């Protein structure tokens, strides 16, 4: 007795699903790129503000003062 595999029809996703999948992948790549740039350019002081003399504001945010 021989058995033959039934041919499975090729199922294509709708264009909207393909577009959304591409947008999701692009968003993930861009998020990683932004995080790497933030890490690269972040000051190493730990507080996120450049070192300034005591009592002076760095001008970047109120939490720096």
CA distance 65 to 52: 9
Q: What's the average model confidence in pLDDT over 4-24?
A: 87
Total domains present in the chain: 1
> Would 39 be classed as within a structural domain?
yes
Share of the chain above pLDDT 90, in %: 35
> Would 6 be classed as within a structural domain?
no
> Would 36 be classed as within a structural domain?
yes
Residue 22 reports pLDDT greater than 80: yes
Higher-confidence position of 24 and 43: 24
- How many of the other CB atoms lie within 10 Å of CB of 61? 11
Residue 9 is given by DSSP the state: P
Which structural domain, as residue segments, surrounds residue 30? 15-64
Question: How far, in Å, are 18, 27, 33, 57, 60 from residue 51 at the CA level?
Answer: 48, 34, 27, 10, 12
| pLDDT in the model for residue 42 | 78
């Amino acid at each position: 007795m021989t058995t033959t595999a039934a041919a499975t029809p090729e199922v294509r996703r709708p264009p909207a699903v393909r577009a959304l999948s591409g947008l999701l992948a692009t968003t993930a790549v861009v998020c990683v790129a932004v995080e790497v740039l933030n890490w690269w350019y972040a000051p190493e002081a730990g507080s996120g503000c450049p070192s300034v003399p005591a009592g002076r504001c760095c001008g970047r945010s109120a939490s720096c003062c």
